[in-house]
Copies of this chain bind each other. A is one copy, B any other.
């Protein structure tokens, strides 16, 4: 079946989301694919507006693909477009169908998280009833690591590496003064604690940080938190707390709600910020101890200068595998990772159910959280440790990482 390939990026960017694109392009070039390789500008919005760029032309040179891999954040641009539920307004689907037919698109690879997998699922369902052969395949991407149907998500390992490295650095920074102090590091992850938990990798034989870890999977009790911190302060000067932005109290409400902005994105997600600040206030006010809250903020998803080598290599392969699956006729599936073994660490990409990925948020299993609810277990470390391994230093020029833009 001849035809063209289109690639889109959607949702929040990651440090390796462009490695997915580079992997897909490599896969197509290696297979001798004869069609055009198009990129949608700003995800599905680019498809709706016929806003494409020709990637075959731009990235046939491996050096150019290397520059793309170096660059964090979505090179093609992203969107938070929500596909309407089928049955209601079908005009978006019809518009997309027209564009797809017009550009003879037969392979549709969409890189994103839960919401983007929902787009893939809905589109592939729509096409099932059409007399138009097209392979629509989802390529996972999430720093939050909350996609079901995959061992982990491309992008998570790099975010985890930045988080654990930063926590290690801030822990030794905080420990320089011979006074009692508490550092609270607020980490992304609304409902799943994978990123916050990854801070555990900061620990060494002589660095105990993070001393306490609070995840959204566990109900947060401020009194228990204060007693945890007090207990640690009895034994050491500096206590480092890793806390998810999404911790919730017994009433199910976000702890940060007293200071959150109240703004809501297109998917109805609240913009969160401030759990760390709330805890800082608690420690200072109730324990009378020096406290500082730090938000790691957007660098968690775009710190291209400290990518995981494992994450980059896997993501490239995952992109290639996703292209090959599409070429072989797979559709309406997500190309996930299946872990073959922990030691030596090994994974393979396998196409899996996309409906599940679209709708479920994968959380940390209860048994990977300590009974006290303020730490993670060895099983988590065994899971996450290999994902941050390996260094992938970007190219530097003038002392700074070289990143490319669409221009």
| Chain A interfacial positions (CB closer than 8 Å to B) | 9, 13, 42, 45, 71-74, 77-80, 161, 164-166, 168-170, 172-178, 201-202, 204, 206-207, 292, 294-295, 297-299, 301-306, 308-310, 385, 388-391, 393, 396, 398-401, 403-405, 407
Task: Check if A398 sits within 8 Å of B201, measured CB to CB.
Answer: yes
* A-B pairs with beta carbons under 8 Å apart, 11 shown: A42-B176, A77-B175, A79-B177, A165-B400, A173-B301, A201-B398, A201-B399, A204-B403, A207-B403, A294-B295, A310-B399
Report the bound CA distance from A299 to B80 in whole Å. 30
Report the bound CA distance from A295 to B280 in whole Å. 16
Task: Check if B206 sits within 8 Å of A405, measured CB to CB.
Answer: yes
Within 8 Å by CB of A297, from B165, B294, B389, B390, lies: B294
Contacts A73-B176, A294-B297 supplied; 13 other A-B pairs, CB < 8 Å: A45-B178, A78-B177, A161-B399, A166-B303, A169-B305, A170-B298, A206-B407, A294-B298, A308-B399, A385-B398, A389-B398, A391-B396, A393-B393
Residues in B with CB closer than 8 Å to A396 are 391
Residues in B with CB closer than 8 Å to A388 are 398-400
Task: Give how many copies assemble into the complex.
Answer: 2
Task: Check if A302 sits within 8 Å of B173, measured CB to CB.
Answer: yes
How far, in Å, is A53 (CB) from chain B's closest CB? 14
Task: Check if A165 sits within 8 Å of B405, measured CB to CB.
Answer: no
**A389 with B393: in contact, given A172-B302, A178-B79 (CB under 8 Å)?**
no
Task: Check if A168 sits within 8 Å of B401, measured CB to CB.
Answer: yes
Residues in B with CB closer than 8 Å to A79 are 177-178
**A177 with B299: in contact, given A71-B172, A165-B400, A390-B399 (CB under 8 Å)?**
no
How far, in Å, is A134 (CB) from chain B's closest CB? 25
Task: Check if A169 sits within 8 Å of B303, measured CB to CB.
Answer: yes
Report the bound CA distance from A170 to B295 in whole Å. 14
**A400 with B170: in contact, given A77-B178, A305-B306 (CB under 8 Å)?**
no
Task: Check if A73 sits within 8 Å of B165, measured CB to CB.
Answer: no
Within 8 Å by CB of A400, from B168, B206, B294, B298, lies: B168
Residues in B with CB closer than 8 Å to A390 are 399
Task: Check if B172 sits within 8 Å of A400, measured CB to CB.
Answer: no
Task: Check if B294 sits within 8 Å of A166, measured CB to CB.
Answer: no
Residues in B with CB closer than 8 Å to A164 are 399-400
Report the bound CA distance from A399 to B158 in whole Å. 10
7 nearest interchain CB pairs?
A388-B399, A173-B302, A78-B176, A389-B399, A73-B172, A206-B405, A169-B302
Report the bound CA distance from A389 to B400 in whole Å. 8
Report the bound CA distance from A166 to B72 in whole Å. 11
How far, in Å, is A114 (CB) from chain B's closest CB? 17
Report the bound CA distance from A309 to B398 in whole Å. 11
Which of A301, A385, A389, A400 has the most B CB atoms < 10 Å from its CB? A400
Task: Check if A400 sits within 8 Å of B299, measured CB to CB.
Answer: no
How far, in Å, is A382 (CB) from chain B's closest CB? 12
Task: Check if B77 sits within 8 Å of A176, measured CB to CB.
Answer: yes
How far, in Å, is A201 (CB) from chain B's closest CB? 6
Residues in B with CB closer than 8 Å to A175 are 73, 77, 405
Residues in B with CB closer than 8 Å to A204 are 403
Cβ-closest chain B residue relative to A277: B273
How far, in Å, is A400 (CB) from chain B's closest CB? 5
Residues in B with CB closer than 8 Å to A170 are 298-299, 302
Residues in B with CB closer than 8 Å to A302 are 169-170, 172-173
Task: Check if A165 sits within 8 Å of B305, measured CB to CB.
Answer: yes
Task: Check if B73 sits within 8 Å of A173, measured CB to CB.
Answer: yes
Report the bound CA distance from A225 to B228 in whole Å. 44
